[in-house]
Amino acid sequence: MFEKQKKLITSCELKQKISLSKSLQELREENICEIKNILASFSEKKIIIVGPCSADDEKAVLEYVAKLLKLSQKVNKKLFIMSRIYTAKPRSRNSYKGILHEDDDFSFGLERQRNLHIKAFSESGIPTCDELLYVDNFNYLDDVVSYMAVGARTVESPSHRFVASGLDVPVGMKNPINGSIDSLVNSLCVAQIPQKFVQFGFQLKTTGNKFAHSILRGGTLKSGENFSNHSKKDILELLEKYSNEKLENPALVVDASHSNSNKNPKNQRHVIKSVTQSMSQDKSIHNFVKGFMIESYLNEGQSANEYGVSKTDSCLGFENTERLILDIAEEL
């Protein structure tokens, strides 16, 4: 049984209330263009999507982004850094669901969500990305973010695949929790081509998103045991499926966290080292792998109430993150 509690603020109303300046709009377009150039192999840079598992505290996130700006300036000849600001979290159980859910008034949550992305981008110039958890919510961020990801719990959803096909920003599609590469490839086949569907109370038609690409994050067996899928063999198998399906702009981002790291943030270094070694050994892998996703925050670990510590999955601390990203730049 559904109870209609309150009509939400519209995306148009919220955009009028909080918006990017013209110069930041232009910078955002430049950032999107650069991301697309990397994914299309017109640029040799690699993407680094880095930030906390959940953007749970505005002050801590902005402090993190300020540190990220200084790091970005050290590696920008080789790496293109994006700030991971995930404001809504898919939780299997009734745990922390992100700042969007913190207040009983979801209009306030939507405003906080948009405001945080705009503040982070305004103060740093570093492009922000979020997860396409609720497809209807993209309208509140579509003129702010430079990249979206479809998570492991929703990548098999027809609505998410269809909406991804109409986004004007690059979208990364994760393999589902069971690790199925076929489901991942199916999602790309849908997202890259034009679609007709019903959403937002309208019949919609999209042009297809040729910059929809894959994110490997490992998987979980029915027993609960995690397994990785970032090996040389795994990457080559995925590349072959790209070729068989004639997908455009073959591109892979390796998620160093989640099941690939066995939920241990310190293992992210080993995951990335393994992939960069494969990249050095095989040119096709080097060209296919476009970057990495890293879960990182001000301080290491997981805690429900410590400042700068992740409320959700355990994250790498910033000091170790900086060392890791500097090493990636040197190895590439």
- Segment 192-198 mean pLDDT: 96
**What contacts 72, CB < 8 A, 6 or more positions away?**
79, 81, 126
Q: What percent of the chain has pLDDT over 90?
A: 88
Flag whether pLDDT at 200 surpasses 80: no
- Segment 97-125 mean pLDDT: 92
Flag whether pLDDT at 156 surpasses 70: yes
- Residue 150 and residue 129: Cα distance in Å, rounded? 11
Q: What is the pLDDT of residue 100?
A: 85
Q: What is the pLDDT of residue 4?
A: 77
Q: What is the pLDDT of residue 247?
A: 98
- Segment 219-240 mean pLDDT: 96
Per-residue confidence at 276, pLDDT binned at 50, 70, 90?
very high
Q: What are phi and psi of 286, to 5 degrees?
A: -60, -40
- Residue 63 and residue 298: Cα distance in Å, rounded? 8
- Residue 164 and residue 172: Cα distance in Å, rounded? 9
Q: What is the pLDDT of residue 88?
A: 87
Q: What is the pLDDT of residue 92?
A: 62
pLDDT digits (tens, 9 = 90+) for 296-328: 999 999 998 899 999 999 999 999 999 999 999
Q: Using the Cα atoms of residue 61, residue 62, residue 67 and residue 68 in order, give the sign of their dihedral.
A: positive
Q: What is the pLDDT of residue 301?
A: 94
Residue scoring higher pLDDT (279 or 6):
279
Q: What are phi and psi of 249, to 5 degrees?
A: 45, 65
**What contacts 150, CB < 8 A, 6 or more positions away?**
131, 132, 160, 161, 164, 171, 172, 173, 174, 187
Question: What pTM value is reported for the model?
Answer: 0.96
**What is the pLDDT of the chain when averaged over all its residues?**
95
- Segment 80-106 mean pLDDT: 86
Q: What is the pLDDT of residue 257?
A: 97
